Structure formats: structure tokens, C-alpha cells
Structure 1
């Protein structure tokens, strides 16, 4: 029975990964161990998911690795699943410079650094036609003329790094932009991009040692607690669709080829490519995550269990078919999510209609 460490369990993504294993996979008997930097993180106390839980230092703290290595050694951890971006970066650096305390499924440090910086990623893809028109600017900017010249009309602005739509807003005029910069004092660099009015899509891609093994697509429609964010985007999908769109996979892999080439990296790791379509239905890449995302258990419930696939690779599972597979879902399949409940997978045609 394998013993797996999952980090950052205060966030929904690591808990979603754990549920994908425990509820939907053939690895339901694995023993999972949890870490988080916050002693109030709910995942630390979910005994139905985790055998033991540990509060650890921040990833950049000087004693982080001593604590992680102690946990790995004392609990005989076989593998680690690293999900918060800050920890992904530190584990990637550790893997490049020295031996990890236990195996983990990670991209190259160069790829992780590029993708966490959304401005740099956009710049690499700028000539490919795969990203929207964009302008990166510092919070201390005084002249906004370039932004409004390049991005005529409304545009989307957000932090150039971070997750969950940090600092996101649809901007309509200079006054709104100035005010938004002021009420986001912790954002140093912003990325302004052409506003796209179409669908919000995600394409998940699993690579191993130079080969694409698995892919699947979904649409984000509504967000949990959307009313608390001026943008309406919180990073946690409440209603989404599981899609069969091979054309989207083609666009995503084309972009990833360029990113692997730019970083001189092997095609290895798990990535979530986010898209927004324009009014004509053409998809543009808005970011690429170096990890799973919060609704990974919805994919698993629909038959696309990337958590199981990841563990299959870490365990060198001989039954795992390494031929490429784009997961295909039943037609009309959707998912509904909320904060304290397991997701519901159902047919969209079965939704109630307003009376």
C-alpha cells in the first residue's frame, strides 16, 4: 500500500486530487498524508482523506526542507504530489540541484518559472497568434496611453502572477484602472489583455518523458462566491461542462510545444491550459497552470481521472496504457460544485427550468 504526501491541503485543488484517488480510482486504498502552512486549513483535519496531517513552514523558509524530509522519513512516504505554485517551484529547484526526499511528478524548473509568470508566457507566445493582445505594466505607471492604444475598447486586467484571478477586472476607462491599481496594493505587475467575450475553457494535458499521454477539456461557466469578486471570477468553478473538443487539444499542444522549446525543457509534467474565446469562437490562451486545478475531481467523476494517471506513472504501473488518449465524455455532461459538498455530475438537459 503506497503512502503519498499531498501538500497545500488548505486549498481546494489538493483536496480534489485526494478525493479523485479515494473515491474514483483504483488507488482508493493508498494512505495519504497532508501538509499546509496554515493550522486552520480544513484539509489538515479531514481524517476520512488523510492518515496524518502536518503544519509546515512556508516553501521559501530556511527550515522548510528539514521539516519535509522529517515527514517523509518518519512516515515512509513513497511519493509526493506538490500542488501550490510556491511549492512546485521549490521542489523543481530541489530536483534540479539535488535529490528530492521522495519522487514527485514535476515539470522542469525553467518551465515552472515561465508559466508562473503570465507576462513572460504571453511574450513567448506573442507571435504565435495563440494569445490575446496584451500589455504588461508596473503599478507605478503614470502614462496609460500605450495600454488604451493597443487595447482599444474594454480590456481585462489582472496580476501577472498568482492564481484565482488575482487582481482581475474588466476595465472600461482610465479612472477605473487607476482605482483598481490602488485597491490592489500587493500586486506589483499587471497584465492587461484584450477582452474576450466567449467561452472560458480549460484543457488538461499529461506528459511523461517527451510524450503526451492524456488530455481532456472542460468549460467553466459560473464561479463559487462570484459575487465577492468584482470580476465575477474566483478561480473555483461552480458550474461547468465536460467537453469533447479535439481541436482545443490541438491548439493547447501547439502552444505547449512552443513553451517546451523556449525553455529547452523535456515534455514532462501535468498542465492545465486556460482559454477564452473571442466573439467568433476562436480560443486564445490566457494562462497555463503547472498543476491540477480545483475541479479535477469533476473530471475524475466523469471518467477522466488525472490523479489516478499521475499515480500510475509514479508507481510505474504496468497496467497503465501509455498510448495517447483524449478522454471522451457522455454528451451533455455537466458538473455542479459548491464549497462544502462533493460535485454532482449530471446531464445539462436534466437541469430544472425556471417556472
Structure 2
């Protein structure tokens, strides 16, 4: 089976490729990678990708011509579109014409809403499922209003983008003004009540109107955390694979509301991120319209969403379409780094090494 994976300079597409090559027994895969950066490491990882191409950005007028040429030349069966901007481009195209090959792409109305964290937060605020938040621009003069509304420490970040872009815990106005100045490319910020509890993720796989697979995990530590003032880089180095049906229920409650609000079909792969307050109540901080970088860790633990996605797109008649929340062994954790396969072990075993 020939599969195109886009954005292979990033950790998420490479993680998806590893989940297929190392942990899936569905079929033999020939993977073709693309990226807009000729220095992207994935373009040269021959153990993962049989071929690779440098392509224009999704906003470039030649993007679709180049992609069509690659799809035709390689007789691609399925495309896995992972960078957020490309997901948006493919979902926009899906509104007016058929996609050039099979791909799991959400409706544009849903994708367009979710990439803007301030819009998503505003729509969900009456469900008591998002933290109290304030959106403001970098030109806002009276920043004290943000403190007046949130009444205490808060978390500030860009309203769009991934990997914790522009994120910081703010305690006073001087810190906020300085942070705005050293993030000149961020035009809109969202400030949300600071939540001190666990950082959780719920994966949700929808296909043709049905929620088919879910799984949960906790992000504990991050790769290269010291380089980010917030300590969050978007790449988890240590995490826990969890069995949390109540978290899945909250994620589904929010997604059901958003599907109804947008009129979008229940179709696509979504990662719902939560942060818990001091009492352990989870609040949604963002919803990604794609897989995230520790996809391979889920696959190593038995929840291979990459393989599930390919099997659904390939119309695999043996795929069980009954809903399933993946369950993991208790106490199961993962350790990962950018250039290594993940290591899974029991957390008790990890603690024993240092006792």
C-alpha cells in the first residue's frame, strides 16, 4: 500500500510513520514523504520513507499541481495530511470538489473553528468545559482588564498555532507586557485561568458519522523543556497511558456540541487537550484537528490510531466498527525523545530504579 505523509520534518508525521512501520501488521507500507523545508530530517530517513519530495507551502498557487503530480507518479492510495495549514487547505478543497485521493479530512467548518482557540472557547463557555478566558490583541492598552476578569494568575498563549506558541504563566502586568514584546509574530493572545492539575489528552477517531476509537494519556514532562519559559514545547518526553472513560465522556460532550454548532460531519481525527483545576475537574484548553507527536507511544501500548486510520480509508471489511475505548495495562508510562523509539514500562519499575 502506498501512503503519502505530509510535513515529515515535524515529529508528528514521523511518529505516524513509525506507528505504521514498527507497530502495524495490517499490510506492507510504502511511505512517501513531503515537506516544505529541504533541510527537514524526514526527507532523508530512508528507513521510514521510500521516497521524499520538497513541496511548496499549502498557500502557494502551485501547491495542488505539485501534490497531484506526486500522487499520480507514485500511484498513492491514501494521503495522511498532518500539518495544520495543510489540513485546512485540504478541508477547504473538500467543500467544493473531491479530494485527489483518500484522506481523513474534517469538514472545513469544524477545522476553521478549532484552529482558533478563542472562537472554540467562546462557543463552549456555557458548557462549563473550558476555563474562564479573555482574548486580547498585542495592541491592547489596558491589560489590567485581563487581570480584573481572571482574578489571579493565568496562562497566556497565541490564539492559533501549536507547540505552546507564545505560552507563559503570568503573575503581573510587567511580565505580560514583556512577553508580548518578545513574541512579535503573535497578534492575538488568549489568557485563561491558570489550572495547576494534570495535562491530559483524549484521542478521538471519527469516520463517516461515527465515533469509533478513543484513548487517553497524560503529558508530564516535555522534550527540551528548558528552552521554553513555559516549560511546554508540545513534545512529550514522559507521559502516562490512561484509562479514563469520564474524560472521554467530557471530550465527546464537547465534540457533539461543536459538530452540531458547525453542522460538520462527525469525521476526522481530533486530539482534545485538557488541564485539571485544583479539584481535579478537567477543562478543555484546545482541540487539535490531527494526530500529535506521541502517536507512536499509543501504538506501542496497543492503540494504533495510525493503523486504524489507514484501515478505515482502505475500506477494510475486517475492521470492527463497534466503538472502542482503548484500555492499557495499569501504571503504564512512556519515555520518548526526538531521535529514539519510545520506551514503555510500568511506573513502579521506573521508581524502583531511583529508590
Whether the 8 Å contact between 1:117 and 1:161 is mirrored in structure 2 is yes
The Cα of 1:228 is off from its aligned counterpart by 0.2
Q: Which runs of 5+ in 2 are unaligned?
A: none
The Cα of 1:28 is off from its aligned counterpart by 5.1
Q: Counterparts of 1:30-49 in structure 2 under 5 Å?
A: 30-49=29-48
Q: Which runs of 5+ in 1 are unaligned?
A: none
The equivalent of 1:181 in structure 2 is 180
The equivalent of 2:288 in structure 1 is 289
Per-residue CA shift, 1:94-137, capped at 9, x if unaligned?
A: 11111222111011001000000111000110111000000000
The equivalent of 2:100 in structure 1 is 101
Whether the 8 Å contact between 2:164 and 2:232 is mirrored in structure 1 is yes
The Cα of 1:27 is off from its aligned counterpart by 3.4
Question: Which contiguous aligned blocks of 4+ residues in structure 1 show a shift greater than 6 angstroms?
Answer: none
The Cα of 1:199 is off from its aligned counterpart by 0.1
Q: TM-score, normalised by structure 2?
A: 0.99
The equivalent of 1:213 in structure 2 is 212
Compute the RMSD of aligned alpha carbons: 0.8
Q: Partners in 2 of 1:128 and 1:329 — Cα distance?
A: 30
Q: Counterparts of 1:276-355 in structure 2 under 5 Å?
A: 276-351=275-350, 352-354=352-354
Q: Partners in 1 of 2:194 and 2:263 — Cα distance?
A: 31
The Cα of 1:353 is off from its aligned counterpart by 4.4
The Cα of 1:261 is off from its aligned counterpart by 1.0
Whether the 8 Å contact between 1:22 and 1:28 is mirrored in structure 2 is no
The Cα of 1:150 is off from its aligned counterpart by 1.0
SS of residue matched to 2:250: helix
Per-residue CA shift, 1:282-337, capped at 9, x if unaligned?
A: 00000000000000000000000000100010000011000000000000000001
Whether the 8 Å contact between 1:158 and 1:168 is mirrored in structure 2 is yes
Whether the 8 Å contact between 2:144 and 2:173 is mirrored in structure 1 is no
Q: Partners in 1 of 2:328 and 2:335 — Cα distance?
A: 16
The equivalent of 1:59 in structure 2 is 58
Q: Partners in 1 of 2:213 and 2:107 — Cα distance?
A: 19
Whether the 8 Å contact between 2:235 and 2:293 is mirrored in structure 1 is yes
SS of residue matched to 1:212: strand
Whether the 8 Å contact between 1:4 and 1:78 is mirrored in structure 2 is yes
Whether the 8 Å contact between 2:12 and 2:292 is mirrored in structure 1 is yes
Whether the 8 Å contact between 1:89 and 1:113 is mirrored in structure 2 is yes
The equivalent of 2:165 in structure 1 is 166
Q: Partners in 1 of 2:320 and 2:353 — Cα distance?
A: 42
